Amino acid sequence: MTSESIIQMCDPHFHMWDLPNRPNPNLGGAGEKLPSYLVADYDRDMAALPSRLQLVSRVHVETVVGQMEGGSPLDTVDETRWVSQQLEPAAAECPFGVSAYIHLARDTAQSEICLQQHRDASGGRLCGVRMILNHHPSNEALTWPQVDSGEILKSSLFSDGIAMLEENDLAFDLSCNPHQVADAVDLFDNHSNLRVVVNHLGFLHDGEDEAHEHLWRESIGVLAGLPNVYMKLSMLWFAREGYHVDQSKLARIADLVREVIETFGTGRCMFASNYPVDKMMGINISTLYGHFLQWTEDLTDGDRAALFHDTAVRAYNLTSTNGTAGT
């Protein structure tokens, strides 16, 4: 690849919120202090991409975090409507998809109604669903707010919800801890036509013992054994906090990213910004994507195209969702 060549880029994982005007109690106490992050803020940050990258499509991922019985009620469809209104004016130049929140372990008929409401609210740009499942019986750092059980992957209702996504040709964003992967694989092995997109490097957590990393590595291998499973190379600070200011941690993260790429193949891995969450951790866009470019400079043009664009477009079926995202 020549130094002048431009690499098209899809960002398959970013968020927006406007908490002063659109409260989101499920983000917890920290949510009260978060500044608004609107499309203008995202566009301003993305303007700092390395010059070799051109953002041509994107996927907004829900910010509901998960809602258990008795939790603060949120209008999840309204989030999709608001997000789509934010992104629609630039959709001709930068097509987008929406990965929305639907509770997949409740009444299936109601889930189907909710799915159609998200489709309508997004103007037909619904491309996936995320329902965060991260739960740990004893470690609060590995349990996401509003996730009340680690048994949900075994639920027959949840399996019905997954089947609904499969029938509607929607992707599922998988967010779970390594110790939950065995249950996930048992489930997804029975839904081979469902595209599953694993979030954030499979949630290797910094500060755990060697057994945790061993379990993570095993989980990555098992997930890679399912041909319909994809991997987001994102939220890398969760695996090594402060890696962007520590050379030894940076080298370790680079090794982990390449290990995952070698395990899944470039055709099933995608880089993502996870903005503005990574921004809140002090990682700017030029640094984040500068590392992505550096770590892949020895790969072929085709492999790089997959990692920065093609895999995300295929995993979320953005070509049919938006008409032009795959060009």
- Please name the helix (run of DSSP H) or strand (run of DSSP E) that holds residue 159, with its range, or none: helix 156-167
pLDDT digits over 283-321, tens only? 999 999 999 999 999 999 999 999 999 999 999 999 744
Query: At 232, is the pLDDT very low, low, confident or very high (cuts 50, 70, 90)?
Result: very high
Q: Angle, nearest 10°, between helix axes 76-87 and 108-121?
A: 20
Task: Compute the average pLDDT of residues 234-245.
Answer: 97
Q: What pLDDT is stored for residue 324 in this prediction?
A: 41
Mean pLDDT of the chain: 92
What is the number of other CB atoms lying within 10 angstroms of the CB of residue 110? 11
Q: What pLDDT is stored for residue 323 in this prediction?
A: 43
pLDDT digits over 170-198, tens only? 999 999 999 999 999 999 999 999 999 99
The pLDDT > 70 percentage for the chain reads 91
* Whole-number Å distance between alpha carbons of 284 and 1: 25
Which pair of tokens denotes residue 98? Answer: 């929406």
* Whole-number Å distance between alpha carbons of 118 and 81: 8
| Residue 51, SS3 per DSSP | coil
| Residue 84, SS3 per DSSP | helix
* Whole-number Å distance between alpha carbons of 67 and 71: 6
**What fold does the segment set 7-322 form as a domain?**
TIM Barrel (3.20.20)
pLDDT digits over 147-176, tens only? 778 889 999 999 999 999 999 999 999 999
Query: At 106, is the pLDDT very low, low, confident or very high (cuts 50, 70, 90)?
Result: confident
Q: What pLDDT is stored for residue 313 in this prediction?
A: 98
* Domain residue ranges in the chain: 7-322
What distance lies between CA 321 and its chain's CA centroid? 17
